């Protein structure tokens, strides 16, 4: 759970409070400065972004639409950089799929500009986004974990895994890595890495790991990836679990200076800095 999170981008200074983490060991009294990224939580699009966007990652540059997931890298005008978008699209998807979130108690408030009528308050937040029946018998669940955006492809018994296919757009180069992952390289040099998929089944209370890999190919000038899965028990559900590692951006279109990230003894995160973003 976490308290309300306020954004005020017209003010010179900002104070963002406040995800409540769950730690395995108690924190000492006072503040502890930490390295790393904020956890990934999601919000429902309440008119903040375009109509086609259903959910988005809070200050993450991740957008969830019916056709797939979009990752935005903001360019820096002072460096003549253009923004770049990676699209991971559900090829051959069910046109009537549903998208729902697993809601948590925290709310987000966007206090943008001086006109109160433009402020948005009490936006619901979620820890998971679920695409239901992307393909017949297949759900895809997105959530934060293991240093990036994780997603589980939940495959019911009897489903042909080869039908699960993603079209990828917006990158300059795709490379398969030695660890079995894939990297999307952009013109700016930025990289999104997707780890080797962790594939398993739960059978009689035991987790059975399954060998597998990405299946990457090109057709009509477009790039696609799916999965090669070795022998498994088709009587039970199958879970494919990749993780996407990417760079996040706190802030708006101009300079945003973060002076520090601190965690208090209750686990609340404080991001302190200044912004000139519009």
Average pLDDT over residues 224-243: 96
Q: Distance (Å, rounded) from C-alpha 220 to C-alpha 224?
A: 11
The answer on pLDDT for 270 being more than 80 is no
Q: Distance (Å, rounded) from C-alpha 255 to C-alpha 128?
A: 30
In the chain, what are the helix, strand and coil shares in percent, each to the nearest 5?
Answer: 5, 55, 45
DSSP β-bridge partners for residue 262: 33, 270
The answer on pLDDT for 277 being more than 80 is no
Average pLDDT over residues 176-205: 91
Contacts of 64 (CB under 8 A, 6+ apart): 42, 53, 54, 55, 56, 70, 99, 129, 142
Q: Which of 2-11, 70-79, 150-159 has the lowest mean pLDDT?
A: 2-11
Backbone angles phi, psi at 168, to 5 degrees: -120, 130
Contacts of 71 (CB under 8 A, 6+ apart): 61, 62, 63, 85, 86, 88, 192, 244, 246
Q: Distance (Å, rounded) from C-alpha 212 to C-alpha 269?
A: 38
CA atoms within 13 A on the CB side of 25: 1
Q: Which of the four pLDDT bands, split at 50, 70 and 90, describes residue 80?
A: low
Q: Which of the four pLDDT bands, split at 50, 70 and 90, describes residue 72?
A: confident
Average pLDDT over residues 182-200: 90
Q: What is the pLDDT of residue 260?
A: 45
Q: Distance (Å, rounded) from C-alpha 271 to C-alpha 258?
A: 7
Mean pLDDT of the chain: 77
Q: Which of the four pLDDT bands, split at 50, 70 and 90, describes residue 104?
A: confident
CA-only gyration radius of the chain, Å: 20
Residues making up the chain, counted from first to last: 278
Q: What is the pLDDT of residue 15?
A: 37
- pLDDT (tens digit per residue) in 216-230: 999 999 999 999 999
Angle, alpha carbons 24-125-262 (nearest 5°): 45
Q: Distance (Å, rounded) from C-alpha 160 to C-alpha 155?
A: 9
Among residues of the chain, what percentage have pLDDT more than 90?
Answer: 45
Q: Which of the four pLDDT bands, split at 50, 70 and 90, describes residue 244?
A: confident
The reported pTM is 0.75
The answer on pLDDT for 107 being more than 70 is yes
Pick the more confident residue, 228 or 50. Answer: 228
- pLDDT (tens digit per residue) in 132-170: 999 999 999 999 876 688 999 999 999 999 999 999 999
**In the chain, domain spans:** 1-38+250-278, 40-247
The answer on pLDDT for 44 being more than 80 is yes
Q: What is the pLDDT of residue 7?
A: 41
Pick the more confident residue, 68 or 74. Answer: 68
| 3-state SS, residue 163 | helix
Q: What is the pLDDT of residue 77?
A: 65
């Amino acid at each position: 759970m976490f308290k309300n999170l306020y954004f005020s981008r017209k003010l010179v200074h900002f104070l963002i409070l406040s995800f409540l983490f769950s730690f395995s060991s108690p924190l000492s009294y006072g503040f502890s400065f930490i390295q790393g990224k904020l956890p990934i939580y999601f919000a429902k699009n309440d008119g903040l972004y375009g109509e086609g966007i259903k959910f988005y990652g809070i200050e993450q540059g991740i957008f969830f639409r019916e056709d797939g997931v979009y990752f935005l890298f903001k360019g820096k005008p002072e460096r003549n950089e253009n923004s770049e978008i990676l699209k991971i699209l559900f090829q051959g998807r069910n046109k009537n799929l549903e998208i729902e979130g697993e809601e948590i108690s925290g709310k987000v408030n966007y206090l943008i500009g001086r006109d109160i009528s433009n402020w948005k308050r009490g936006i619901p937040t979620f820890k998971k986004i679920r695409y239901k029946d992307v393909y017949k018998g297949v759900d895809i669940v997105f959530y934060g974990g293991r240093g990036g955006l994780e997603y589980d492809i939940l495959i019911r018994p009897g489903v042909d895994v080869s039908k699960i296919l993603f079209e990828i757009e917006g990158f300059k180069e795709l490379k398969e890595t030695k660890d079995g992952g894939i990297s999307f390289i952009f013109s700016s040099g930025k990289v999104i890495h997707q780890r080797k998929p962790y594939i398993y089944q739960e059978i009689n209370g035991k987790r059975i790991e399954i060998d597998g890999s990405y299946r990457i190919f090109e057709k009509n000038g477009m790039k696609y990836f799916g999965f090669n899965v070795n022998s498994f028990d088709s009587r039970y559900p199958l879970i494919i679990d990749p993780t996407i590692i990417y760079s996040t951006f706190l802030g708006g279109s101009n300079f945003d200076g973060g002076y520090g990230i601190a965690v208090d003894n209750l686990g609340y995160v404080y991001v302190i800095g200044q912004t000139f973003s519009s």
